[in-house]
Structure 1
Amino acid sequence: MARICEVCGKSKAFGNKVTFSNKKSSRSWAPNIRRVKAVVNGSTKRINVCTRCLRSGYVQRAI
């Protein structure tokens, strides 16, 4: 499963892990993606959505 939100396009972000001694090593942050049944154009589909979009109401869940 691709770790990308199909609503907002949020995907993995990259940056540095910084230690107390100020050493830097690369790390990544993955979004919290859920595979949900949602209503898309009047029909029910399974889509990958981040929890921020679910919480904000950008997706109408299908039951």
Structure 2
Amino acid sequence: MKCDYCGKTPQYGHNVSHSHRLTNKRSQPNCHPVRVLLDGKSTRLSLCTRCIRTLARTPA
């Protein structure tokens, strides 16, 4: 998973239990396939939801 607009990729960290044992975890960006007009052509991109909201706000 990678956002084609901002380049957001998975983040890595640890789940920390009450006894402070660390287990690995990976958080994926919330990406969705979206049709976007680029240079007058409709192209399909994988965008995170923040970029979808940003592109929806900008005037065409």
- Please give the TM-score of this superposition, normalised by the length of structure 2: 0.85
Separation in 1, partners of 2:12, 2:48: 17
Separation in 2, partners of 1:46, 1:57: 14
Q: RMSD across aligned C-alpha pairs, in angstroms?
A: 1.8
Structure 1: which 5+ runs fail to align?
A: none
Counting aligned pairs with the same residue, the percent is 29
Residues matched between the structures, number: 58
1:18 maps to which residue? Answer: 16
CA distance change for structure 1 residues 51 and 4 in 2, over 3 Å: closer, same or farther?
same
Separation in 2, partners of 1:59, 1:7: 15
Separation in 1, partners of 2:50, 2:39: 21
What aligned pairs does 1:2-17 form with structure 2 within 5 A after superposition?
3-17=1-15
Q: Secondary structure at the match of 1:57?
A: helix
- Please give the TM-score of this superposition, normalised by the length of structure 1: 0.82
